[in-house]
Copies of this chain bind each other. A is one copy, B any other.
Amino acid sequence: MKRHGIILFGHGARDARWAEPFERLAGKLRATRGDPVSLAFLELMTPDLPGAVAAQAAEGCDTVTVVPVFFGQGGHIRRDLPEIVERCRAAHPGLKIHCATAVGEDDAVLDAVAEYCVRQVGE
């Protein structure tokens, strides 16, 4: 059976509580699908992306979609992430690895953020 994993890719931070929304997001996705959903971080937290990709390959995924959970697309997404993904592809030549645009570029995500802002001012 073909399995299609999702890896939520975040920046990482020193404070463990920083990862809470990422864990909640992974939980929401796991509640709706049977294939693996995991987290990976650029720095300061583990696993890194190569580790998360290797784990999903070991779980039988033939395809992995990496979703950058970032608002803006700066150097981390435009330069660092493609290099890491290329290394992952070289390490797992049988695995298809797709890389999505950062979630902050999605209009529906921005609409939800705008609605949150409006709720905060009590209008």
A residues with CB within 8 A of B: 4, 6, 8, 10-11, 13-15, 17-22, 24-25, 28-29, 32-33, 65, 67, 69-75, 78, 98, 100, 102-106, 108-118, 120-121, 123
Contact = CB atoms under 8 A, between A and B. Distances in A.
B118 A29 contact: yes
A72 B19 contact: yes
A4 B32 CA distance: 39
Contacts of A106: 112-113, 116
A28 B114 contact: yes
B20 A72 contact: yes
A81 to B, nearest CB: 13
B109 A13 contact: no
B114 A72 contact: no
Contact of A72 (B18, B108, B113): B18
B67 A116 contact: yes
B120 A100 contact: yes
Given A10-B71, A106-B112, 17 more contacts: A4-B123, A8-B117, A11-B72, A14-B75, A17-B78, A18-B73, A22-B72, A25-B110, A28-B114, A33-B123, A67-B117, A67-B120, A100-B116, A103-B113, A103-B116, A108-B112, A111-B112
